[in-house]
């Protein structure tokens, strides 16, 4: 197990390195000069060839690509000083560059935005399971009934609506039309500064939108896995032992059905942790998703680079965790 985890972590570092190279190369050899966005911004769209040349020189885009990539990697471990036009910016290790828009080190802003994104992810994922699993189990136990069919088709309807539309409508109705008290002022308020109530009420609608939309999927997963588990031979054995129905359904049925659900959940949770663009944008929560959206719109290359790397790291770690948890849940699985 330990050897397996170490092996996976090493391969994870390798993947992150490859991803960082890919991102670096994409920008370097993009359709326009990588210095073009900042030149445009700083000169109010009057970027001449001479000015562009200054930016390219100071940002190192005149040097060979491997040399600049080397500097970038070195910056992860050692402090470096970045020069943009005539100004110097200190960037302490691990340095991920300086934002073209704010001129702040990217790392600091990334760290400051993690709590907001993680708050959304944890709350939303919690609702996925809180509603998805019990409703799925209930539907599986009543499979074929009118209630089951109504539930499955209405959930299928919800999950076939595009999420951004669903979230937008949730926001419109709950904040503008009904002005739900306490919760209409959405946003991220750090629990340490504004207290748990403000934190909770700011995120509540985002959680509801994310949770309701996501839980429809989990209901279907759980229902499917549960229907399959309940038709297994070992359920008949459990019944033949004289066990009460509750034990048969939960201890024997749900225990088996949870394995595929947990696997999908781990991957989904990782995706949420990497940033929820629509949720953060619609509910105005200053998290990584919104930040990456702004960075793309503002052509803020170092920030785009950092958010892309961040999501790669989060997904690799969550995939590793899924595999480890899987081997714990299913004793037949051997990690090697």
Binding site for another protein (CB under 8 A): 232-234, 236-245, 247, 252, 255-256, 329-332
DSSP for 7-59, please give it: HHHHHHHHHHHHHHHHHHHHHHTSSS-TTHHHHHHHTTT---HHHHHHHHHHH
Q: CB of 113: closest distance to another protein in angstroms? A: 40
The enclosing H or E element of 80 equals strand 80-84
Q: CB of 262: closest distance to another protein in angstroms? A: 12
Q: Which lies closer to another protein via its Cβ, residue 64 or residue 144?
A: 144
Q: CB of 128: closest distance to another protein in angstroms? A: 23
Q: Which lies closer to another protein via its Cβ, residue 91 or residue 256?
A: 256
Q: Which lies closer to another protein via its Cβ, residue 46 or residue 332?
A: 332
The span from the CA of 299 to the CA of 38, in Å, is 8
Q: What is the largest CA-CA distance in the chain?
A: 86
Q: Which lies closer to another protein via its Cβ, residue 17 or residue 145?
A: 145
Q: Which lies closer to another protein via its Cβ, residue 145 or residue 154?
A: 145
The span from the CA of 171 to the CA of 88, in Å, is 43
Q: CB of 314: closest distance to another protein in angstroms? A: 29
Pair of tokens at residue 330 = 């299913």
Q: CB of 140: closest distance to another protein in angstroms? A: 14
Q: Which residues are paired to 80 by β-bridges? A: 91
The distance of Cα 291 from the centroid of its chain, to the nearest Å, equals 13
Phi first, then psi: what are they for 78, rounded to 5°? -125, 145
Q: CB of 238: closest distance to another protein in angstroms? A: 7
Q: Which lies closer to another protein via its Cβ, residue 74 or residue 241?
A: 241
Q: CB of 247: closest distance to another protein in angstroms? A: 8
Cα torsion for 76, 8, 133, 122, to the nearest 10°? -10
Contacts of 169 (CB under 8 A, 6+ apart): none
The span from the CA of 279 to the CA of 277, in Å, is 6
Q: Which lies closer to another protein via its Cβ, residue 261 or residue 309?
A: 261
Q: Is the separation of the CB atoms in 296 and 288 below 8 Å?
A: no
């Amino acid at each position: 197990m330990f050897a397996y985890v170490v092996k996976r972590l090493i391969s994870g570092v390798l993947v992150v390195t490859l991803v960082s190279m890919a991102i670096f190369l994409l920008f370097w050899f993009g359709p326009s000069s990588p210095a073009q966005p900042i030149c445009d911004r700083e000169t109010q769209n009057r970027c001449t060839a001479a000015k562009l040349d200054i930016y390219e020189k100071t940002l190192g885009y005149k040097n060979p690509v491997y040399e600049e990539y080397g500097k970038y990697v070195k910056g992860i471990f050692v402090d470096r000083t970045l020069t943009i036009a005539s100004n110097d910016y200190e960037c302490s290790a691990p340095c991920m560059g300086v934002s073209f828009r704010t001129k702040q080190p990217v790392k600091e802003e990334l760290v400051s935005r993690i709590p907001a994104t993680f708050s959304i992810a944890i709350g939303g994922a919690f609702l996925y399971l809180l509603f998805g699993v019990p409703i799925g189990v209930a539907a599986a136990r009543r499979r074929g009934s009118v209630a089951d069919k109504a539930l499955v088709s209405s959930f299928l309807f919800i999950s076939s609506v595009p999420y951004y539309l669903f979230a937008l409508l949730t926001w419109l109705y709950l904040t503008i039309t009904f002005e739900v008290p306490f919760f209409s002022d959405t946003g991220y308020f750090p629990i340490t500064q504004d207290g748990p109530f403000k934190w909770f009420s700011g995120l509540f609608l985002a959680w509801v939108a994310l949770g309701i939309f996501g839980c429809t999927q989990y209901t279907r997963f759980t229902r499917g896995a549960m229907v399959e588990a309940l038709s297994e031979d070992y359920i008949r054995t459990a019944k033949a032992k004289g066990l009460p129905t509750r034990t048969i359904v939960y201890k024997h049925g749900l225990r088996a059905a949870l394995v595929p659900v947990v696997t999908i959940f781990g991957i989904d949770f990782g995706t949420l942790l990497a940033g929820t663009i629509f949720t953060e944008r619609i509910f105005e929560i200053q998290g990584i998703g919104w930040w990456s959206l702004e960075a793309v719109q503002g052509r803020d290359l170092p920030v785009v680079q950092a958010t892309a790397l961040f999501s790669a790291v989060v997904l690799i770690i969550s995939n590793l965790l899924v595999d480890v948890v899987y081997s714990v849940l299913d004793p037949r699985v051997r990690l090697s």
